Amino acid sequence: MAVQELTQDNFESTITGNDIVIMDFWAPWCGPCQQFAPTFEEASNKHDDVVFAKVNTDEEQGIAGAFQIRSIPTLMIFREQVIVFSQPGVLSAAQLDEVLGKVRELDMEAVRADIEKQQQEQEQQAGGNA
Of 15, 33, 69, 76, the catalytic one is 33
Of 27, 30, 37, 111, the catalytic one is 30
Residue type at 4 in one-letter notation:
Q
CATH classification of the domain holding 33: 3.40.30.10
Contact between 55 and 74 under an 8 Å Cβ cutoff? The reply is: no
- pLDDT tens for each residue of 17-59: 999 999 999 999 999 999 999 999 999 999 999 999 999 999 9
Q: Is 33 a catalytic residue?
A: yes
Distance CA 22, CA 104 (A): 12
Range of the domain at 37: 4-128
- pLDDT tens for each residue of 52-84: 999 999 999 999 999 999 999 999 999 999 999
pTM of the predicted structure, to 2 decimals? 0.88
Q: Is 24 a catalytic residue?
A: no
Contact between 86 and 74 under an 8 Å Cβ cutoff? The reply is: yes
Domain count, the chain: 1
How much is the pLDDT for 5? 94
The b-or-e profile of 62-71 (16+ CB within 10 A means b, else e) is: ebbeebebee
